[in-house]
Every structure is written in C-alpha cells, then in structure tokens.
Amino acid sequence: MNKKRLAAPFGLWMLLFTVIPLGMVLWFALTDDAGNFTLQNLPKIAEYSDSFWYSLYVGALSTFLCLILAYPLAFSISRRSERAQRTLVMLVMLPMWMNSLLRITALKSIISEKGFLNRLLELAGLPTQHMMGTTGAIVLGMVFDFLPFMVLPLYSVMTKIDGRVLEAAQDLGANAFQVLFRVVLPLSVPGITAGITMVFVPSVSSFVVSKLLGSAQTTTMIGEVIEFLFKGSAPPYYNVGAVLSLVLMVLMLLCMAVMSVFDKDSDEMEGMMA
C-alpha cells in the first residue's frame, strides 16, 4: 500500500524532538527575557568570539590529527585478509562500547600530575610534564574520543579499492608515493570527507571533553559556553545561548556544504568501485 507511512513514527519523533526544539531555540534567540521580539541578542555573539575561534581551532586540529592517524591505519586494515579486517575493525570500535565520559575520565587519570604517564617518565628518570588542563589535553581527548569515527568511513571506502588497480599503478611505473597521491588518495576522497565531517562537527561543539580536561588557563569552548548559559548560570541566559547555538549550527552547515562539494567530484566513480 503506502510505504511512506512506515516513516510516520520517525516523522513524529523528528517533530517532537528536532523541529519543535529548533523552533524554540529560534524563539529564544529572537526574544528578550520578557518574551518580546528583539534583535539585541545578536550583537552579543561578539563577546564570545574567542570561544568560537578556539573551538574551531581545537576542532580543526583534532580532525587533522585524527586524519593523519586514521588514514594509514585504515589503509593498512583494508589490505588485509577478510578475517583480519573484521578483527581489526572490531578493535577500532572497541572503545566506542565504553561510555565516553568514562573514557575521558580514564584519560584524565593517565595524564594527570601523578598519573600513569608521569609515573613512567619518573621511572625513566625524565622530568614530569604538566598535561592536564592544557589545549593539548583537550585535543588529545578529542582524538581519543573521535578516532573511530574517522577510521570507519575511511576503511569502508578503502576496502572497495581493487588491489589490482594499485598493482596496475606500480606496474606502470608509479612508486609508493605516486600510487598514494595519484590513485589511493583520489579514490578515498568520499571516506576523507565523511570522516572529517564526523569528527569535526562533534569536536567543535563538544563540551564534555573540554570540561573534564580543560582548565581556567584554556579558553572555554563554545559548547561549554552554551551549556553554561542554559543551565549553569542563575538566572539562565537562554536568549544568548540560543543565538550562539544558531551560529554554531550555521557554521556546521557551512562546513558540511564545503565537504559535499569535494564529494560530488568523486560521486561519479562510485559505480565503478562498488
């Protein structure tokens, strides 16, 4: 009969938990404490520009590090036997089975002043390092948290690259670098864009990681600011928080739009690789 009706429950879900809340965010953004329409909330964004820049910086750096770490790993996994691939992919996903908060807390105990890493340094006779509460710690936390989201899309694209295509490139005189840059890289663009989107978006807006691993010395990330405005402060500043949320959303949409441009170029060859 009508298969479209099967989507009705999800439609209702979307309405209740996405469309209406979004409408409320928009409502708060454009009203003042008394509920009157105003545009006065908008200029307040400027007060938080540091947080925006810092979040973008941390997000970009984390995404970049994830890509650098995940790319060779994903390629290496994709060239193995079927069995080995399954085992290794499971190992990559293993940390995701654990609660994210728990993982970050564990990381905290590893890099704290008297933590595991500093103990090791002591044992080796090296000076201990101050790691907790730095930008480095936040980035480490992000990479730690989001790495699987980079590995998986890369792996799923790379595993479709025919090994004989790589051999053909070598056969025609391409050395390892040329094979990478002329064949593997262009063929894995869809995985790269998917991975970047899946890591960049949550890491820019994350507040858990920076809250647990950051400190007074690090700039507050925008996600943390929004969380604070909505529930931390008294009275709550819903209106400013809502504006910041909207700006963040627009930034994310822009980022995804840029990514989809890269993706379009590679769409046409998908039929060939599948």
Partner 1 sequence: MNNSVITLKNIAVSFDGEQVLKDFNLSISDGEFVTLLGPSGCGKTTTLRIIGGFISPTDGDVFFGEKNVRDLPPYKREVNTIFQRYALFPHMDVYENVAFGLRVQKKDKADIEETVEKMLSLVNLKGFEHRKVSTLSGGQQQRVAIARALANRPKVLLLDEPLAALDLKLRKDMQNELKNMQKQLGITFVYVTHDQEEALSMSDTVVVMDGGKIQQIGTPLDIYNEPVNAFVADFIGESNILDGVMKRDFVVEFFGRTFDCLDSGFDENEPVDVVIRPEDIDIVEPIRGHLTGTVTSVTFKGVHYETIVDFKGFKWLIQTTDYYAPGTVIGIVLNPEDIHIMKKSEYSGLFGDYSSYSEEFDEMADPEIDLVEETKEAESYE
Question: Which residues make up the interface to partner 1 (CB under 8 A)?
Answer: 82, 162, 164-165, 167-175, 178, 182-183, 186-187, 266, 268-269, 271-273
* In the complex, minimum distance from the CB of residue 176 to partner 1, in angstroms, rounded to a whole number: 8
- Assess contact for 141 and 65: CB atoms under 8 A: no
Q: Round to whole Å and give the CA distance between 206 and 254.
A: 18
Q: Which is nearer to partner 1, 69 or 165 (CB)?
A: 165
Distance from C-alpha of 143 to C-alpha of 200, rounded to nearest angstrom: 10
Rounded to a whole number of angstroms, the minimum distance from the CB of residue 187 to partner 1 is 6
Closest CB to partner 1 among residues 85, 218: 85
Shortest distance, position 111 Cβ to partner 1, whole Å: 40
**Which CB atom, from 235 or from 271, has the smaller least distance to partner 1?**
271
CA distances from 65 to 130, 163, 215, 233 (A): 21, 27, 22, 34
Q: Would you say 215 or 260 has its CB closer to partner 1?
A: 260
Q: Are 183 and 167 in contact (CB under 8 A)?
A: no
Q: SS3 helix, strand, coil % of the chain, rounded to 5? A: 80, 0, 20
Q: How far is the CB of 161 from partner 1 (least distance, A)?
A: 9
Q: Which is nearer to partner 1, 106 or 273 (CB)?
A: 273
Q: How far is the CB of 171 from partner 1 (least distance, A)?
A: 5
* Helix, coil or strand: residue 134: coil
Q: Measured from the CB of residue 159, what is the shortest distance to partner 1 in angstroms?
A: 9
Q: Which is nearer to partner 1, 109 or 178 (CB)?
A: 178
Determine contact, residues 157/190, Cβ cutoff 8 Å. Answer: yes
d(CA 32, CA 105): 38
Q: Which positions ≥6 away from 222 have C-beta within 8 Å?
A: 48, 51, 52, 54, 55, 204, 205, 244, 248
Angle at CA of residue 127, ends 124 and 131, nearest 5°? 110
Q: Nearest approach, Cβ of 155 to partner 1 (angstroms)?
A: 13
What is the Rg, in whole angstroms, of the alpha carbon atoms belonging to the chain?
A: 23
- For partner 1, give the closer residue by CB, 33 or 167: 167
